[in-house]
Amino acid sequence: MATNRMFRGVRRPGDSEALVVNQMPDADRVAAPVSKSGAEGGTTILFVTRLPPDPDGPGGTQRAMQLLRALASIGIVDLVLLHRSSDLEAVKTLSGPAQSLVRNFAALEISEWAPAKHSVSKWKWKWRQIEEVFRLHAVDAPRFSASMISKIASVLPESDYDVIFAGRLSSACIVNQLMSNGQLRARTRVSDLDDLISRFRERELKVVGAAQGMLRRILQRISIRRVRNAELEICRHWDAVGLPVAEELEWLRARVPAAALQLFPNVVDRRLLPIQRSTKPNILFVGHLGYTPNIDGLRTFLTEAWPCILQRVPEATLTVVGMYPDLALSQFVADNGGKLYANVPSVEPYYQNSTLVISPIRYASGTRIKIIEAMAFGRPVVSTKIGAEGLQIKSGDHALIVDDMKEFSEAVVRLCTDDDLYDHIVFSANVLQKQKYSLDALTEEIREAIMCP
């Protein structure tokens, strides 16, 4: 089992904006909290999240950053990052933009949340999968031991807040345990579920379940039921719950009519790039390459759509940009003539050199931040219906939205060859992005959730 690692950054008087982390010789490393100068009085907010706020990271970390910006405009924010050892996005210090927004920062790797590891023995690994489901209740809606909850409580900057804001279901479940034990108090509780994980897992099971084996499918169904119960429980008892997808809010409202539900839109702040005209269209895929829907979608595109595109537009090229691809995916992209760039510091140069962006997602939930990002940068998007789900976009005006890979390849070819359609989508999508997916819109929704429980 992985050891616990605790961090609290400290910014001493006169230090630069960099967060200093004290290193301790034992397994647990602790330092004093970081303080935001001049932050006295006002609404105190504890932001508990699994993903670190990062304006240039994967979609989930970008959303965490925009949530933090909104919260910091409302009150004084303490940030606590609670994560698994397998969370590749987890960090031990905050990015510069995030540091300036928080009063205190603490992070803890939760050993009881460690995923089941492959064993030399197939049966031992299967047993560990079963044990994980029953020990944790559900990975996405965990329940920890009293000693672990006390460990989490020990890193909290304070135990009493005006508002607790939980980023994602797992954080809300941890907050519930802390409050039930009397180790954390707040007048108002607000949760951003980000997406309905139970719905995502159901879709995943439907699309790729046949390849998972019977045991895995059974455990997945158990987990889905437990996660759904946790989602509904949060809606029943928390003061407000937010999601970026109106359809998912309506799904929840039908099951919990009394729930206070808010639309927390995804936000992207990117500059509009000049239109890229080229005789060699460059098609761009951007996404977290450790995320199974992205892997599945990219592989499906390369297998079913990309050959058809090359027949019609043989000079087209494919660029893939993302975090944490494994060797198998990297080789698959290369074998199909694409170029993959991993863990880049900024995606803007790749958007700059692209003609259009693809989102060939076959299953997921929530909204694709990368589509909004492409709209902001001024690059037209071809997406599946699932990929564009939850976004207020109209096919033909703000993007091209299709049902299958045959239509997907035809839509890509249209954008490569029809300049008028291309220009229309770029302009309309950019206007929509500024109207519907701005930080002001998100802040007002969160302010309403906090101030009017």
Strand partners, 321: 286, 341
- Give how far Cα 223 sits from Cα of 99, 164, 232, Å: 36, 26, 14
pLDDT at residue 329 is higher than 50: yes
Based on the fold, state whether residues 77 and 97 are members of the same structural domain: yes
CATH of the domain at 392: 3.40.50.2000
**What is the Cα–Cα distance from 249 to 235, expressed in whole angstroms?**
10
Distance between CA atoms of residues 444 and 375, nearest Å: 22
Beta strands 44-49 and 20-21 are unpaired
Asked if residue 272 belongs to a domain, the reply is no
For tokens 């944490």, the residue is 324
What are 8's strand-pairing partners?
106
- Region of poorest pLDDT, from 95-99, 212-216, 339-343, 405-409: 212-216
| Cα-Cα-Cα-Cα dihedral sign, residues 266, 269, 274, 280 | negative
Residue 270 lies in a domain: no
Low-confidence winner among 273-277, 332-336, 416-420, 433-437 (lowest mean pLDDT) = 273-277
Query: Do both 359 and 254 map to the same domain?
Result: no
Question: Does residue 20 carry a pLDDT above 60?
Answer: no
pLDDT of residue 208: 77
- Please count the structural domains in the chain: 2
Position 205 scores a pLDDT of 87
Residue 331 in domain: yes
At 299 the pLDDT is 97
Q: Enumerate residues 6+ apart whose C-beta is below 8 A from 25.
A: none
Tell me whether residue 149 is in a domain.
yes
pLDDT at 122: 62
Name residue 341's beta-bridge partners: 321
Q: Are residues 401 and 339 in the same domain?
A: yes
| Same-domain pairing of 51 and 77 | yes
Tell me: pLDDT of 4 over 70: no
Beta strands in 52-101 (DSSP E): 76-83
Same-domain status, 54 and 132: yes
Check residues 240 and 125 and name the one with the higher pLDDT. Answer: 240
Domain match, 245 and 321 both: no
pLDDT digits (tens, 9 = 90+) for 364-389: 765 678 999 999 999 999 999 999 98
CB 49 within 8 A of CB 171: yes
To 10 degrees, what angle do helices 197-208 and 214-237 make? 160
Residue 127 lies in a domain: yes
Across the range 39-67, mean pLDDT stands at 86
Could you tell me if 255 and 316 lie in one domain?
no
Indicate if 239 and 312 belong to the same structural domain: no
Closest among 105, 108, 83 to 157, alpha carbons compared: 105
Sheet holding 282-286, edge to edge: 339-342, 317-322, 282-286, 356-359, 381-384, 400-402
pLDDT of 320 strictly over 90: yes
Distance from C-alpha of 324 to C-alpha of 340, rounded to nearest angstrom: 11
Q: Under DSSP, is residue 50 helix (H, G, I), strand (E, B) or coil?
A: coil
Same domain, 447 and 424: no
Domain-located, residue 185: yes
DSSP E strands, 214-301: 240-243, 261-263, 282-286
What pLDDT is stored for residue 276 in this prediction?
77
Same domain assignment for residues 321 and 446: no
Which H helix or E strand runs over 218? helix 214-237
| Element spanning 20, H or E | strand 20-21
Tokens of 376: 């902001």
* 339/421 same-domain check: yes
> Between 215 and 336, where is the model more confident?
336
CA distances from 232 to 60, 180, 221, 251 (A): 22, 18, 17, 11
Per-residue pLDDT at 128 exceeds 90 = no
Q: What is the DSSP pairing of strand 5-10 with strand 20-21?
A: antiparallel
In this predicted structure, which of 153-167, 205-219, 409-423 has the lowest mean pLDDT?
205-219
Spell out a b/e string for 403-440, using b for 16 or more CB atoms within 10 Å of the CB, else e.
eebeebbbbbbbbbeeeeebeebbbbbbebbeebbbee
Q: Is residue 363 pLDDT above 90, yes or no? A: no
364 within a domain of the structure (yes/no): yes
Confidence class of residue 204 from pLDDT cuts 50, 70 and 90? confident
- Residues 310, 220 within the same domain: no
Work out the pLDDT band at 93, boundaries 50, 70, 90: low
For the ranges 39-48, 114-123, 427-436, the lowest mean pLDDT is seen at 114-123
Q: List the domain range (segments joined by +) for residue 224.
A: 5-265+439-451
Residues facing 322 on adjacent strands:
342
State the Cα torsion 195-196-197-199 to the nearest 10°.
Answer: -130
Give the per-residue pLDDT at 390. Answer: 83
Tell me the C-alpha distance between 10 and 105, whole Å.
8
H-state helical runs in 301-354: 306-312, 327-335, 348-352
- What's the CA gap between 444 and 450, in Å, rounded? 10
Q: Which residue type is seen at 242?
A: G
Evaluate whether 400 touches 447 at the Cβ level (below 8 Å): no
- Residue 69 forms part of a structural domain: yes
Task: Residue 80: name the closest of 113, 58, 39, 47 by CA.
Answer: 47
Does 47 score more than 90 pLDDT?
A: yes
- For the record, the structure tokens of 243 come out as 């999601």
